[in-house]
Structure 1
Amino acid sequence: MKKTALLLAATALASCSAGGDPEATEPASVHADMLVLDTHLDTPLHFEREGWSFADPHELAGDLVQLDIPRMKDGALDGGFFVIYTEQGPLTPQGYADALAFARERSDLIDRTIAKNSGAIAPALTAADARRLNEEGKLIAFKSIENSYPLGEDLSLLQEFYDKGVRMAGPVHSATNQFADSATGEARWNGLSPLGKKWVAEMNRLGMVIDASHSSDATFDQLLELSKYPIILSHSSLRSAYDHPRNLDEERLRKLAAKDGAMCISTIFMSEMNMSPARAELFGQYEQIGGMTPEEQAELTRKWRELDKTEPMWAADFEDYMAMVLRAIEVGGVDHICFGADWDGGGGLEGIEDISALPKVTERLEAAGYSDADIEKMWSGNVLRILAAQGGEPRS
């Protein structure tokens, strides 16, 4: 953002963290002047919480949310892709119908929340919209679909979600579905199913960005081969940082770069996820936080933070994260790296717990010798390039 208030806020943040050293204010100021996007924001699961407001500031000690409008401004996050996530269910007509109803409501919830806060944030459909809103001093709200399971076997529903403003979608989540094999699911299709290949064609026809995060290696390979336009991984980590099927290997990152795509670096699966029985129980409750009373929300937060003291979810920290970011840039190049930390979906590490830490990333990239222009490419330029590069049929 180029707004003076945001610049001053970022400068103040850097000054505090550096003990008031005037020279230490520059990286945060540079960060504040960039257009900064994140490609995977799971925050919509909080939008229907009783007694909770996206417009209010929240602290991690008392609330599990990692992103709100005040912290977007404090951390100079100008916007990103707010996710319509639907949990995987049975591959049956009833399963599809229930999932579609949920996805429609989640999409509408995002729209209502953005409209309620229209003085600060506005919807975007194109790269040009994002740049215009940034110049106007407004935060940017794209929409994406994580898991195309709610489409069932009716690909015409992609048009419906396109008309609702969705501009990015992935075929699959944590379990194999009717479209594709998941990185953490069974190898049923050896990549894309026949319907999944038609899904790719329809995504291309509409001009929606294909998101390969959560896809198996074979699915990724086929998405890359079949798509007429560059694809993205909205929230993925490197397999060389931690050997997990959810992560992307370096050779595939090179192939993605060769086809003008980009990998948005996440904070997840840089270690095994410590999903103990206690954590699994809390995660199950967290996914239902939208239906909890304020008292129940507070109790969940208390239990979660207590568990963090004895059983941290991830055995990695900010230093590990930046080592992976720098390696990804080395492999893929500055034109093919972006950021999608998986905020409010399991992301965040010690030292990068929420979006207020984002200026630290820019500071480290500057220290590593990357130019402001290259850093801004990674924060937003590459994502907007891929969005603008989608063909799609002519539309009025």
Structure 2
Amino acid sequence: MKAITLTLGALALSGCVATRPAEDPVALHARMLTLDTHLDTALHFGRAGWRFDARHSLADDMSQVDLGRMKQGALDGGFFAIYTDQGPLTPRGYADALAFARARSDLIDRTIAAYPTRIAPALTAADAQRLGREGRLIAFKSIENSYPLGEDLSLLAEFRARGVRLAGPVHGKNNQFADSATDTPRWGGLSPLGRQWVAEMNRLGMVIDASHSSDAAFDQMLALSKHPILLSHSSLRSAHDHPRNLDEGRLRALAAKGGAMCISTIYLSEMNLTPERAELFTAYETIASLDPAGQADLTRRWNALNAREKMWDANFETFMAMLLRAIEVGGVDHICIGADWDGGGGIDGIDDITALPKVTARLKAAGYSDADLEKIWSGNVLRILDAQTH
């Protein structure tokens, strides 16, 4: 009789547990320190009439990240990119690019400094954790495309002094350091100067970012680096066969050396880059040069085009399938998030940072623990950042 009573009691208890409502996804997400490793939001910082401390919406503005949306608990911070378009490999090209990169770095600093009670710069993992405890948002800095360094690797130290802690050698075209994933190989991976770049990045304690690099350049950076490396915004090639994406074998190799791949929303399909969209993209990249009326017109035209045809033939379900596969292949210790916000990222169902709690909810439903989620959202990135100096 006692055994039956205990069994019935256990069944009753298990029924209570089973029917207990799950924690609200937004609340669960807000409890975690959440970072994105690639934010192109700095291109909005110089816009006339645009405020980083506002809460914009895609219906009336093209930005995907601002303090208003970040503070909702969707995103605690990340790496604000100093992106420089690839130009000629000439002294004049290098000088112009360096001036641009310095100005972009200064613009990020001024914008972050304008809101000291809401967001602050971070240089270390400990800084990020402290700011999270203080209830402030977190601003790391990164370099997307080391082209502005020219052939002077001492400039890496200058940008480290400016607060940069993550840098990639190359972008969409080959440069003096490496072959791009989306160009015809010139160097067979890294150039001789690119190999020196890896050594200097290691010496300075800066994280190497392999996104945009060719497969051969990735292999060589992985082999040469004394510290774990990162891919700040990349997708899996098994989800869509594109050279910009990483294959599963290389993800396993990255994980074996302690690195991590931060999952993006881009190249989950072919990019629908029609002439009209290419024109709008060119205007978008220089949106800060437009007056408010010009910005509003660009937003209107962008939204009208999106209503007629999508840039990506992918959605939230496509993203989640790829993310879950990446975790399966690489393990929870080697996956992070870098959606490419404000740089071409965003797809149906995950089109700005307010959608991020949905990712947490889906990962939790897939059986991942809170500790797993904390690794994916920030722990893995902070571990790699910390490893550069140990």
Three-state SS of the structure 1 residue aligned to 2:126 is helix
Contact map agreement 2:178 2:190 (CA 8 A) in 1: yes
The structure 2 residue matched to 1:201, chosen from 195, 199, 219, is 199
Contact map agreement 2:25 2:357 (CA 8 A) in 1: yes
Contact map agreement 2:74 2:355 (CA 8 A) in 1: no
Q: Which residue of 2 aligns with 1:84?
A: 82
Q: Which residue of 2 aligns with 1:177?
A: 175
Residue 119 of structure 1: CA displacement?
1.4
Q: Which amino acid is the alignment partner of residue 168 of structure 2?
A: G
Contact map agreement 1:46 1:65 (CA 8 A) in 2: yes
CA distance in 2: counterparts of 1:54 and 1:133, whole angstroms:
19
CA distance in 2: counterparts of 1:86 and 1:23, whole angstroms:
48
The structure 1 residue matched to 2:258, chosen from 215, 236, 260, is 260
Q: Which amino acid is the alignment partner of residue 142 of structure 2?
A: S
Three-state SS of the structure 1 residue aligned to 2:81 is strand
Q: Which amino acid is the alignment partner of residue 214 of structure 1?
A: H
Q: Which residue of 1 aligns with 2:58?
A: 60
TM-score norm. by structure 1 comes to 0.93
Residue 391 of structure 1: CA displacement?
2.8
Contact map agreement 2:79 2:139 (CA 8 A) in 1: yes
Q: Where do 1:207-218 residues align within 5 Å? A: 207-218=205-216
Q: Where do 1:301-380 residues align within 5 Å? A: 301-380=299-378
- Deviations along 1:56-101, whole A, 9 cap, x unmatched? 1101010000000010012431100000000000000000000000
Q: Where do 1:117-266 residues align within 5 Å? A: 117-266=115-264
Residue 25 of structure 1: CA displacement?
5.0
Instruction: List alignment gaps of at least 5 residues for structure 1.
Output: 1-21
CA distance in 1: counterparts of 2:175 and 2:156, whole angstroms:
16
Q: Which amino acid is the alignment partner of residue 191 of structure 2?
A: S
CA distance in 1: counterparts of 2:294 and 2:24, whole angstroms:
42
Higher mean C-alpha displacement, 26-35 vs 166-175: 26-35
Residue 113 of structure 1: CA displacement?
0.1
Q: Which amino acid is the alignment partner of residue 324 of structure 2?
A: L
CA distance in 1: counterparts of 2:132 and 2:280, whole angstroms:
37
Residue 26 of structure 1: CA displacement?
2.3
- Deviations along 1:136-179, whole A, 9 cap, x unmatched? 00000000000000000000000000000000000000000000
Three-state SS of the structure 1 residue aligned to 2:178 is coil
Q: Which residue of 1 aligns with 2:8?
A: none
CA distance in 2: counterparts of 1:102 and 1:298, whole angstroms:
25
Residue 28 of structure 1: CA displacement?
1.9
Identity, in percent, stands at 73
TM-score norm. by structure 2 comes to 0.94
CA distance in 1: counterparts of 2:183 and 2:283, whole angstroms:
23
Residue 27 of structure 1: CA displacement?
2.3
Contact map agreement 1:264 1:338 (CA 8 A) in 2: yes
Instruction: List alignment gaps of at least 5 residues for structure 2.
Output: 1-19
CA distance in 2: counterparts of 1:24 and 1:279, whole angstroms:
42
Aligned in 2, Cα 1:75/1:307: closer, same or farther, shift over 3 Å? Answer: farther
- Deviations along 1:325-371, whole A, 9 cap, x unmatched? 00000000000000000000000000001000000000000000000
Q: Which residue of 2 aligns with 1:6?
A: none
Greater Rg over alpha carbons, structure: 2
Residue 186 of structure 1: CA displacement?
1.9
CA distance in 2: counterparts of 1:249 and 1:25, whole angstroms:
35
Residue 24 of structure 1: CA displacement?
5.7
Q: Which amino acid is the alignment partner of residue 188 of structure 2?
A: N
Three-state SS of the structure 2 residue aligned to 1:23 is coil
Residue 311 of structure 1: CA displacement?
1.6
Residue 30 of structure 1: CA displacement?
1.2
Contact map agreement 2:240 2:268 (CA 8 A) in 1: yes
* Count of aligned residue pairs for this structure pair: 372
Three-state SS of the structure 2 residue aligned to 1:188 is coil
Superposition RMSD in Å = 1.1
- Deviations along 1:109-140, whole A, 9 cap, x unmatched? 00000000111000000000000000000000
CA distance in 2: counterparts of 1:73 and 1:114, whole angstroms:
14
